[in-house]
Amino acid sequence: MSAKRAERGRSGKAAGRRIALFGGTFDPIHLGHLAVARAAERRFRLDQVYFIPVGHPPHKPASDLPPFEHRFGMVALACAGHPRFVASLAESGSSDGAGPHVCYSVDTVRLFREQFNRAGDHLYFLLGADSFLDLAAWKDYDTLLDLCDFIVASRPGFRSDTLRQVIPPQLLASPSGAAPESRAIALRHTSVFLLDSVDSRVSATDVRRRLEHGRSIHGLVPPRVEEYINKQALYR
């Protein structure tokens, strides 16, 4: 799909559903995540944004994280009141009864492609620039780049010209990888869009540090999430 067409509106509901998958540890979910999701929802006229907390991340020992149930609970609270934001259990990592297993984005995207398989359905993978720059460490990342469009949200300190360096040259649509619009990189089957309207300094690391030091996190996470963290005495 062309970069221009991929950005066209929710107007074409009959033409298919426009879905973004937004994965992360969400440890905890914060206002930066919601700013990213809102900006993507607006620019790409998304019908739904699936927030997908990962139960057992490939690159982090799960023992370093609060239990999945807490992180999922906070994501669900943060999605409440946003009609298009959905808390997803797709990467809970325990649904098959065989015990915990590591989840990979490439498998998750395939799963959603099976679910959203009508003509005109369009999947986006939504992530921050720091995550995109780590992509080469992800399982089958070249396959992943072929499977769906990417929306990369800028983060403070990030330089947009670094995005291209992560992409294997053979995946680019042309040697220059130039797309019809400057904020996108055209790949052979998909596009990577830069979402540069987000400028949030909030990070989960900062939220956790503040809580560890007994400082306020007011204004950094949604009020319901702040209440949950306090009631459950998380990150103390």
| Choices 90-98, 127-135, 169-177, 183-191; region in contact with ligand ATP by CB under 6 A | 127-135
Between 151 and 179, CB nearer to ligand ATP: 151
Closest residue to bound ligand ATP by CB: 128
At CB < 8 A and 24+ separation, what contacts does 36-43 make?
Answer: 36/126, 36/128, 36/153, 36/195, 36/198, 36/200, 37/82, 37/85, 37/126, 39/153, 39/195, 39/197, 39/198, 40/124, 40/126, 40/151, 40/153, 40/195, 41/84, 43/7, 43/195, 43/197
Nearer to ligand ATP, 16 or 131 (CB): 131
The token pair at 105 is 């984005």
Our finding on whether 76 is near ligand ATP (CB under 6 A) is: no
Binding mask 186-215 for ligand ATP (x = CB under 6 A): ------------x-x-xxxx----------
Q: Report the residue number, 6 or 36, with the smaller CB distance to ligand ATP.
A: 36
Q: Cβ 37 to ligand ATP, closest distance in Å?
A: 9
Tell me which long-range contacts 176-180 makes (C-beta under 8 A, separation of at least 24).
Answer: 179/3, 180/2, 180/3, 180/4
Token output for 97: 């009864």
Assess 127 for contact with ligand ATP (CB under 6 A): yes
Q: 3-state DSSP: the chain helix, strand, coil percent, rounded to 5?
A: 40, 15, 45
Residue 181 or 196 having the CB closest to ligand ATP? 196
Site string for ligand ATP, 12-51 (x = CB under 6 A): ------------xxxx----xx--x---------------
Binding residues vs ligand ATP (CB under 6 A): 24-27, 32-33, 36, 127-128, 130-131, 153, 155, 198, 200, 202-205
